DNA sequence: TTGTAAGCGTTATCAA
DNA sequence: TTGATAACGCTTACAA
């Protein structure tokens, strides 16, 4: 009186009068099944409203055709755009995506990875929280294919695909220096994030090359919180403030910085030039279109995804970082220094 | 020579010298297992680096603890923010999220739903492409719990949680009318999206109440493409252009509209007031903070998710729409008409 | 071309 | 407190 479970190939087999094996082969378009029985099987399958149970299949085939994607915050357009590209890529290859937020939280990252392993995803795309692979021990032991996306570890213990962030930092700084800016504020996030670390390196390198001493009072550390960045920027300009340009870790925070600069009574780009990173979709459509470092997100995602599929196929994980060359996209937020 | 498959409870059982059943019960903290054997089992489980196979468990328990989420475009901040809220909600309840993009494409929606059913998700959260439930036949036949999020069907054939969009459209229009604007452009997306349809209804209702005739030349239909909106807005202002205010379907498109208005040589809000919908994160941090209708996304997501869990528990799907009251958030993009 | 039987890694049912 | 044994729904050798 209680069973209304979904139909199975067994039921189809019974109704058609063949074995389950035949049904399985018919439904999977395998050879060696007569057109007639095949027709019958398909007909009754539709009749019963049969849907194959991917769970049962996954159990025997040891493949779920599912990829785990772990990143800090999907609501951040940078990640959202990457997730979208990844979803499109994997969908076209017959994979689905399980998404996990870490909120830059180490324990949450660890827990997410464990859950994904339990669910037997075929592979994992991870934007790691830290710069060492501590949370990856589990993964490496379990030999789950993994590729890091957008950030890498200090030691090459896992394959990763990132933007060449040092180069990006360099390009941003060089651009401003060439425009005549000498006092350049760098608003960064925590250095335990490899991209933050590397971009800052590029900034320093460019300064050095232009013979400008690095002034540590021109470095602000903020969190990913938009309001935090807003407040800190405002405070900086109220107190010290003698800069003509700002580099911000990413576009979304740069938007916050723009507002702070405006609210402090300065004009962009006349008084202050601003450069961001990521080239998110809206950056070009802001009232003051943002000059930014374009990491070529799509290429990053596709390279990483391709690599992951290869790791899945070959059951062979080769560590090391692959970096994609970024480009400088000049818009209206930067201008010659007066 | 080829098997290095992950360890199973069978192996643990063999090593400890107990039955698989005992291992299963020990690992799941079930009663009736002596502390000593339990300790042994847990120890060897760790030794083997055992991770439970959620697929096998799902097969027998008929529950994957996975929710399917189908929406048009994760890279759109509005959806991204909702996905994030949903992920947080379901994570805390022990569920994961499989994400699917539809790109407002009917076939892709259908295909996504089928895949999710095959993968035996416990429930589906869907932002449907159309206003009829054509693509849901499959689901209803298969009795997969589903809740619509952000959009509803004309006929109440599925439970849904939306913002009260007609009210939202009304609030936006009323606000502008009260500021003395009489010529209000409405930039909308396709009316086969229920929220677009309903917001427009609210717009018309407010005009009626203020005794203003609806002028159909003040309605622009755009796609979700930022550039499309930009071009159409620019064209409007170059050609006809005699309006003092604009209502835009959503904030992300409103940003594009702002740029078009600025590029046409007008000033916001002095010449043109603008109202959006969604209250996405950056709206308050734009150089000109955007007046918008706040749909209370978080409450929407949590209500829908709660409803879905209930539907899963009770195996009982009651159709009908539940609408969350929106609020008007006034910022700097709207001002008294001169 | 088709069928039989084993197995995927769990949990659940019932005895012991 | 434990252990056989049978599911769960499918695929895959191998045999017929």
Among the partner-chain residues B49, B64, B288, the one whose CB lies closest to the CB of A141 is B49
**Tokens in use for B324?**
């969350």
Same domain, B138 and B287: no
Could B286 and A230 be called an inter-chain contact, meaning their C-beta atoms sit closer than 8 Å? no
**Which residues surround strand D, with CB < 7 Å?**
A 5-6, 8-10, 20-21, 24-25, 27-28, 50, 52-53, 56-57, 59-61; B 17-22, 25, 31-34, 36-37, 56, 59-60, 62
Could B287 and A262 be called an inter-chain contact, meaning their C-beta atoms sit closer than 8 Å? yes
With vertex at residue A153, the alpha carbon angle to CA A152 and CA A159, rounded to the nearest 5 degrees, is 60
A35 nearest nucleotide via C1' and CA: C1
Q: Which residues, at least 6 apart from B216, have a Cβ–Cβ distance to it below 8 Å?
A: none
Residue B311 φ/ψ, nearest 5 degrees: -60, -35
In a domain, B61, yes or no: no
In a domain, B305, yes or no: yes
Q: What is the pLDDT of residue A4?
A: 65
Nearest CA in chain B to A119: B54
Q: What is the pLDDT of residue A84?
A: 98
DSSP state of A68: E
Q: In angstroms, how far is D16 C1' from A17 CA?
A: 17
Q: What is the pLDDT of residue A124?
A: 97
Q: Which domain holds residue B86?
A: 66-163+297-326
Q: Which residues, at least 6 apart from A288, have a Cβ–Cβ distance to it below 8 Å?
A: A258, A268, A269, A332, A333, B287
Same domain, A23 and A97: no
User: Within an 8 Å CB–CB cutoff, is residue A73 touching chain B?
Assistant: yes
Among the partner-chain residues A87, A259, A289, the one whose CB lies closest to the CB of B286 is A259
CA distances from residue A147 to A110, A127, A162, B236 in whole angstroms, order as listed: 15, 9, 10, 47
Q: What is the pLDDT of residue B1?
A: 28
Q: Give me the CATH number covering residue B178.
A: 3.40.50.2300
CB-strand contact A20/C, under 7 Å: yes
In a domain, A57, yes or no: no
Residue A175 backbone class (left: φ over 0; alpha: ψ -120 to 50; beta: rest): alpha
In a domain, A85, yes or no: yes
Task: List chain A residues with CB under 8 Å of B98.
Answer: 66, 96-99
Instruction: Give the C-alpha separation, A112 to B92, whole Å.
Output: 12
Same domain, B47 and B101: no
* Residue in this structure with the two tokens 């949450």, named with its chain if needed: A108
With a CB-CB cutoff of 8 Å, which residues 173-212 of chain A face chain B? none
B35 nearest nucleotide via C1' and CA: D1
Same domain, B253 and B144: no
Same domain, A269 and A284: yes
Helix, strand, coil distribution of chain A in percent, nearest 5? 45, 15, 35
Closest C-alpha to A91, from A241, A302, A252, A282: A302
Same domain, A123 and A158: yes
Q: Which long-range contacts (CB under 8 A, 24 or more apart) does A37-45 make?
A: A40/A16, A41/A12, A41/A16, A44/A12, A44/A15, A44/A16, A45/A12
Q: Model-level pTM?
A: 0.95
* Residue in this structure with the two tokens 């205010």, named with its chain if needed: B245
Same domain, B214 and B243: yes
What's the N-to-C CA distance of chain A in angstroms?
84
- Considering only CA atoms, name the residue closest to the C1' of nucleotide C5: A21
Could B115 and A98 be called an inter-chain contact, meaning their C-beta atoms sit closer than 8 Å? no
Same domain, B204 and B291: yes
Task: List chain B residues with CB under 8 Å of A53.
Answer: 59, 118, 120
In a domain, B198, yes or no: yes
In a domain, A138, yes or no: yes
**Tokens in use for B190?**
């396709």
In a domain, A183, yes or no: yes
Q: What is the mean pLDDT of each run of 10 residues along chain B (338 residues)?
A: 72 94 94 90 94 97 98 96 98 98 95 96 96 82 90 93 98 98 96 96 98 95 94 94 94 96 95 98 94 98 97 86 97 94
Same domain, A143 and A288: no
Q: Which residues, at least 6 apart from A181, have a Cβ–Cβ distance to it below 8 Å?
A: A244, A245, A273, A337
Our CA-based measurement puts residue B5 at a distance from the nearest CA of chain A, in whole angstroms, of 9
Q: What is the pLDDT of residue B137?
A: 78
Q: What is the pLDDT of residue A320?
A: 92
pLDDT tens digits in sequence order for chain A, 338 residues long:
234 689 999 999 999 999 999 999 999 998 888 999 999 999 999 999 999 999 999 999 999 999 999 999 999 999 999 999 999 999 999 999 999 999 999 999 999 999 999 999 999 999 999 899 888 877 777 789 999 999 999 998 899 999 999 999 999 999 999 999 999 999 999 999 999 999 999 999 999 999 999 999 999 999 999 999 999 999 999 998 789 999 999 999 999 999 999 999 999 999 999 999 999 999 999 989 999 999 999 999 999 999 999 999 987 778 899 999 999 999 999 999 97
Same domain, B83 and B200: no
Instruction: Give the C-alpha separation, A98 to A239, whole Å.
Output: 46
Residue A217 backbone class (left: φ over 0; alpha: ψ -120 to 50; beta: rest): alpha
With a CB-CB cutoff of 8 Å, which residues 149-168 of chain A face chain B? none
Considering only the C-alpha atoms of chain B, give the largest distance between any 2 of them, rounded to a whole number of Å.
Answer: 87
Same domain, B226 and B280: yes
Instruction: Give the C-alpha separation, B170 to B275, whole Å.
Output: 12
CB-strand contact B338/C, under 7 Å: no
Same domain, B170 and B274: yes
* Residue in this structure with the two tokens 């970096």, named with its chain if needed: A323
User: Within an 8 Å CB–CB cutoff, is residue B61 touching chain A?
Assistant: no
Task: List chain B residues with CB under 8 Å of A74.
Answer: 74, 80, 83-84, 87
Among the partner-chain residues A74, A287, A288, the one whose CB lies closest to the CB of B80 is A74
In a domain, A336, yes or no: no
Give the number of domains in chain B.
Answer: 3
Q: What is the pLDDT of residue B45?
A: 95
């Amino acid at each position: 009186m209680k069973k209304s479970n979904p139909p199975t190939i067994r039921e189809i087999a019974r109704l058609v009068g063949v074995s389950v094996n035949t049904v399985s082969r018919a439904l999977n378009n395998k050879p060696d099944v007569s057109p007639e029985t095949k027709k019958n099987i398909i007909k009754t399958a539709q009749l019963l409203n049969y849907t194959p149970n991917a769970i049962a299949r996954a159990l025997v085939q040891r493949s779920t055709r599912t990829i785990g994607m772990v990143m800090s915050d999907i609501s951040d357009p940078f990640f959202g755009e990457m997730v979208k590209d990844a979803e499109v890529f994997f969908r076209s290859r017959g994979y689905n995506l399980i998404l996990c937020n870490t909120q830059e939280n180490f324990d949450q990252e660890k827990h997410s990875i464990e859950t994904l392993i339990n669910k037997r995803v075929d592979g994992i795309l991870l934007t790691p929280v830290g710069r060492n692979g501590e949370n990856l021990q589990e993964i490496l032991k379990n030999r789950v294919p993994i590729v890091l996306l957008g950030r890498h570890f200090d030691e090459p213990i896992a394959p990763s695909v990132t933007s060449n962030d040092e180069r990006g930092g360099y390009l941003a700084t060089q651009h401003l220096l060439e425009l005549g800016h000498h006092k350049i504020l760098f608003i960064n996030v925590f250095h335990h994030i490899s991209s933050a670390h590397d971009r800052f390196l590029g900034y320093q390198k460019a300064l050095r090359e232009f013979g400008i001493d690095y002034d540590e009072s021109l470095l602000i550390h903020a969190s990913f919180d938009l309001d935090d960045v807003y407040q800190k920027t405002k405070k900086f300009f109220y107190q010290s403030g003698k800069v003509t340009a700002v580099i911000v870790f990413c576009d979304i925070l740069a938007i916050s910085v723009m507002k702070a600069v405006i609210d402090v009574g300065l004009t962009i780009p006349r008084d202050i030039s601003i450069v961001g990173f990521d080239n998110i979709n809206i950056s070009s459509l802001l009232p003051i279109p943002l000059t930014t470092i374009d990491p070529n997100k799509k290429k990053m995602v596709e390279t990483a995804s391709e690599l992951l599929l290869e790791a899945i196929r070959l059951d062979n994980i080769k560590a090391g970082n692959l970096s994609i060359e970024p480009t400088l996209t000049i818009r209206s937020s930067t201008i010659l220094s007066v």
